[in-house]
Structure 1
Amino acid sequence: MLDLLASVPSPSPTDAAGGGFDLFGIILWPLKWLVELILVAWHWVFTSLGLPPADGITWVLAIVGLVVVVRAALIPLFVKQIKSQRKMMEIAPELRKIQDKYRGKKDQLSREAMSRETMALYKKHGTSPVSGCLPLLVQMPVFFSLYSVLSSVKTNAELGLGGVGVLGPELTKQFYDASLFGVASLHETLIDAWNTGNTPAVAILVVLVVLMIASQFFTQLQIISKNLSPEAKTGQAYQMQRIMLWILPFAFVFSGVFFPLGVVLYWFTSNIWTMVQQFIVIREMPTPGSEAAKQREERLARKGKAIDSSGKIVTMEKYQAEQQRLLEEAEKAKAAAPKREQPMSKQRAKKQGQRQTPPSRPQNPRSDTGAAPDSSSENK
């Protein structure tokens, strides 16, 4: 392994095949070097365990190891993606209010005001639509790098050259000669297999593409069927997810046709990782109010446990005590709050004012001089 690291060539701005200037290759060179390093490292591990160096299963397992390394490194981004998606669902009603506010207004000022209010809402809640796609966006350069590495294997092997890093000429030749089940080369695409009449390779690639589509579809279906709250299912983000549920499979059809078998294997293994990871997240950390959250509460209740207000799992006794305390606090706050007077009509207020006004005292019969009238004069 140390000998391999010592034989790393320096980066070259020329392509191994034609010697022309390759800007895209220069940009991807660091990632290609890293991809080769991880592949060769896993290949060394499996050959140390006794697997044949030039056997297809050895390199397939090395590709699986590459998936493990990349996806494990993306776990923090995945956690951020989950939080961002939940926040996007939570702010969906507020976002819909902004859209309704400016619905039908197509002037420049209205569009700018709508954009400002939308960005302010995203900033307030610390989320954005792009953050939900971070893991996929970060993986794309790795896909392109692996595609570049595998696509150049055939040319490099025929010229007796190696890759850009630790994938030297000998390992490149081993990779080129390796085939899955002895019939499908890892650098072979579906078009290549079809043109050469390699029916077993065509069948393997078609099966892998179907499994890729099925795994991606099931992963998305888990999210929109179990891990969304009722409120979220009325938002625009939910409609977008339903559309993506049917659009994404076409991307995998494209990849299955034009990508080498090694890249298809990488993508399929990555999909399996995503599906399992999503299943664990939905089961153990579901979105509040979703069907998955209700199922989790039922499972905990059968075990005599519940989730407290802070999201921790506690015993049922502690949960009931907390609920009683919260109820008492709510009742005290309600009693301490000033009572709101009901609005009263003018006629009712007038009648109530008349009832509350004390009766007037009888007028004093004394004259203005203060002398009482003479009763004898009245008798006269």
Structure 2
Amino acid sequence: MGDFFATILYPIEWFVATVMVGTHTLLVNLGFEPDGGPAWTLSIVSVVLVVRTLLIPLFVRQIKASRAMQIIQPEIKKIQDRYKGKNDQASREAMTKETMELYRSSKTNPFASCLPILIQMPIFFGLFRVLNRLRNPDAGAIGPFSEQLQNEAAQARFFGAPLSDTMLSATSPWTYLVATILVIIMTLSQFYVQRMLMTKNMSPAAMDSPFFKQQKMLLYILPLVFAVSGVGFAIGLVLYWCVTNIYSAVQQTIVIRSLPAPGSPAEKELEARRRKKAERTAARTGKSVEEVLGLPEPDPAASTADPVKRVQPKRQTRSKRKTGTP
């Protein structure tokens, strides 16, 4: 099983090693020390930048899928309410069929939002294996990552801590401290990225769906998993995931501000910013806010017209009420 896993990851290891060595070579030509921490730290950061750049089409697809999922949440809830309390096999199959038909008709894939992180995991494991080679002198070269370069990388340090060390293998209190701080940053940044999506870019209808409840569970589970497993990650690997989370946070902030999901708090904030900007433009140009925003002008006749007065019934005398005279 181990050999099969290694065979699957070999091309990814080769890709990671090529990106790191290419960046390292460029930095050394620019005057960086070959075995210095900055050169190898930036080489790891370059893996994040290259991978995330290649994943931009998938990220766009993820955003579209997330928006589409939120739009159809009311329809999904109607289907679930229709089969609520029906636990027989036929009802479950019918609900699944209607739900899949809704996904098909709306061209939505509920798993599309998971694609970027799923694709990044093999890269993560590939880097894990590349950095593990730095602690094994007999590991041999991987692609352009020669044994000499591995020896240089093994001496590289991030704020005084070897990039190949972990919290469990730390030989000095300082290395343990640096590794601990990085694991904490990795955990908190992972939590922040997930929470941003859930609090800023979801409509009330989406928050009332089972899909949201599943994401809410992941909001706490994923950071916990990274915190527990992070103690065994090399400092360079934890650094990679920290930079990935920071990249994701910046990317999501830009997208949420410019293309918020319909009905989300981010959409309301965008509308407020547009109106505020339109008010400043209107004050400068003498136009109305509606004209600047491209909205129809309010009808002045509708606002100045006299309201319809309610006709009060005339009071009748007692004699008229008895005879029925109007």
TM over 0.5: yes
- Distance across 2 between alignment mates of 1:150 and 1:96: 47
Counterpart of 2:143 in 1: which secondary structure? coil
Residues 54 and 174 of structure 1 are in contact (CA less than 8 Å); yes or no, is this contact kept in structure 2? Answer: yes
Once the two structures are superposed, the pairs formed by residues 73-112 of structure 1 within 5 Å of their partners are: 73-112=54-93
- Distance across 2 between alignment mates of 1:290 and 1:254: 33
Worse-superposed segment, 219-228 or 137-146: 219-228
- Distance across 2 between alignment mates of 1:53 and 1:211: 28
Displacement of 1:55 after TM fit? 0.9
Residues 182 and 235 of structure 2 are in contact (CA less than 8 Å); yes or no, is this contact kept in structure 1? Answer: no
Asked if residue 187 in structure 1 is aligned to residue 164 in structure 2, the reply is yes
Gapped regions of structure 1 (runs ≥ 5): 1-19, 306-314, 326-380
Displacement of 1:321 after TM fit? 4.8
Residues 278 and 292 of structure 2 are in contact (CA less than 8 Å); yes or no, is this contact kept in structure 1? Answer: no
Q: Percent identity?
A: 43
Paired position in structure 1 for 2:233: 259
Alpha-carbon spacing, 1:227–1:26, altered in 2? closer, same or farther (3 Å): same
Q: TM-score, normalised by structure 2?
A: 0.83
Paired position in structure 2 for 1:117: 98
Paired position in structure 1 for 2:224: 250
Deviation by residue 1:144-185 (Cα, 9 ceiling, x = unmatched): 111111112221xx23x5332000111011111222233x22
Paired position in structure 2 for 1:201: 175
Counterpart of 2:204 in 1: which secondary structure? coil
1:280 to 237, 248, 254: 254
AA aligned to 1:24 is F
Asked if residue 240 in structure 1 is aligned to residue 214 in structure 2, the reply is yes
Counterpart of 1:225 in 2: which secondary structure? helix
Displacement of 1:323 after TM fit? 7.2
Gapped regions of structure 2 (runs ≥ 5): 280-288, 300-326
Paired position in structure 1 for 2:145: 167
- Larger Rg belongs to: 1
Deviation by residue 1:254-313 (Cα, 9 ceiling, x = unmatched): 3311211111110000000001111111111111222111111121122218xxxxxxxx
Residues 162 and 170 of structure 1 are in contact (CA less than 8 Å); yes or no, is this contact kept in structure 2? Answer: no
Deviation by residue 1:35-55 (Cα, 9 ceiling, x = unmatched): 100000111111111110101
Alpha-carbon spacing, 1:21–1:81, altered in 2? closer, same or farther (3 Å): closer
AA aligned to 2:154 is Y
Counterpart of 2:169 in 1: which secondary structure? helix
Aligned CA RMSD, in angstroms, stands at: 2.2
Displacement of 1:227 after TM fit? 1.5
1:70 to 40, 45, 51: 51
Residues 215 and 271 of structure 1 are in contact (CA less than 8 Å); yes or no, is this contact kept in structure 2? Answer: yes
By relative contact order (CA 8 Å, sep 6+), the higher-ranking structure is 2
Q: TM-score, normalised by structure 1?
A: 0.72
Displacement of 1:324 after TM fit? 7.4
Alpha-carbon spacing, 1:111–1:303, altered in 2? closer, same or farther (3 Å): same
Residues 62 and 113 of structure 2 are in contact (CA less than 8 Å); yes or no, is this contact kept in structure 1? Answer: yes
Once the two structures are superposed, the pairs formed by residues 39-50 of structure 1 within 5 Å of their partners are: 39-50=20-31
- Distance across 2 between alignment mates of 1:324 and 1:185: 67
Deviation by residue 1:97-156 (Cα, 9 ceiling, x = unmatched): 22222223232222222211111111111112211101001101101111111112221x
